């Protein structure tokens, strides 16, 4: 049995933004500072079309359209594109647990 890792190409860099691709399940920024320390900021979904600062720049909308799925580090502002291997339509915080509220559970056996 052989395992083959698919290689994801590096994204095109934008003039005013550093762009990376998220790793599967990644929730925190892994960008290193000039002191070689990880940033560690949370990655949050960024709605750039309503960002006043980004509207003046316009790089992201020109490159990916008006409503692309983009995440941004809360500290260093590095942009992250979603990983094609990651499950989409889930919360950035993770998959979470399945709720048992309202489900019919079988009764416990008596002692």
Q: Please report the DSSP string for 10-49 in residue order.
A: PPPPBTTB-EEEPPTT--B---B-TTS-B--PBEEE--GG
Question: Residue range 8-18: average pLDDT?
Answer: 82
Would you mind telling me the total number of residues written for the chain in this entry?
111
* pLDDT for the residue 105: 66
Entry pTM: 0.69
* pLDDT for the residue 2: 47
CA atoms within 13 A on the CB side of 42: 7
* pLDDT for the residue 71: 93
* pLDDT for the residue 55: 81
Percent of the chain at pLDDT exceeding 70: 76
């Amino acid at each position: 049995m052989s395992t083959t890792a698919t290689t994801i190409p590096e994204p095109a860099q934008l003039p005013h933004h550093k762009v990376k691709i998220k790793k599967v399940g990644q929730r925190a920024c892994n960008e290193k500072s000039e002191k070689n320390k990880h940033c560690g900021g949370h990655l949050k979904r960024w709605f750039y079309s309503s960002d006043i600062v980004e509207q003046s720049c316009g790089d992201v909308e020109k490159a990916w359209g008006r409503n692309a799925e983009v995440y941004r580090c809360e500290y260093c502002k590095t942009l992250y594109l979603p990983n094609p291997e990651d499950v989409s339509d889930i919360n950035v915080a993770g998959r979470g647990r399945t709720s048992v509220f309202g489900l019919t559970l079988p009764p416990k056996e008596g002692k």
